[in-house]
Structure 1
């Protein structure tokens, strides 16, 4: 069943919040990254709308949400998210978040654990990841568009085979193939849709 995309605004105590909304079913709330706004999620929420009720707000100070003259912090964004969800009477949600949104979503989940059904984080800010940073940088180099890193690795494969290091290239190729096979909205385990 087709649901039209709706754009809405609501006035909260700290400022006005803008959001995109579409679909029906379990509530999914998508939080954007540092240099983005809610439009980064449009293709994803339209794809999921037959199965889920999707909300993609602009965080306070981003996109079409108000930019009040005050000190911005993660705590402020968490409280703004809490007010937003309260206003919409969304008591139980799944949070899907990228970058800065991941930091806000995690902080919200820690503060309001009974209101978060699940949490999906994509390259979240504010988390210490140890030695994984290098791996993420390599992965982004390999899956970039166009995937120049992948082409380069394939071109040196004969040399790697002679040196006995082709297994590393084979593993990287499997990673690239797995990424290419993901649907445009990413691979996320979500609850079964109603109905």
Structure 2
């Protein structure tokens, strides 16, 4: 059985389409909800690995739920689906440690790839969204990094784990994590889960 998932959207056709698609792909869809209150209760009840949530829902938005899950330290990984191409919403999602952000018009084309990425603890943000927002950190920040830190970033961009990076660079996991901590400070990233991964994905072209 594949990854356990709950889904929520206040548009019945979108909800049904997503549900049918995930079932066809053999994902373990535990339940679905038509508003944010129901979605939050389903996460509390089922403790799914992933919750795919519409951002704009009655009672609680997808962002509200992500915030509550973060405050409660729940392990469910949040994927947001939306028509919104709004930089403020995108930034708030990043700050809340949301794992995925998929635009609805590309949902069926991207959701499976997004889920597979999230399962590996790799954030996924719709390429169309990043392109639309022209998301790009100042490359000058890279000048603050040492050659070793740049090498670590390049390996992160290749989806290498801390253990794999350590083996490739002949250093311990602890040393890798220490370097990553220094990189996060130098790049002035929010001290939240996945902030470095997201930055690397957004700035991968500068690391090649």
The structure with the greater share of residues assigned to helix is 2
Computing the radius of gyration over CA atoms, which structure comes out larger, 1 or 2? 1
Q: Which has the higher contact order (CA 8 A, sep 6+)?
A: 1
Q: TM-score, normalised by structure 2?
A: 0.30
The structure with the greater share of residues assigned to strand is 1
Q: TM-score, normalised by structure 1?
A: 0.31
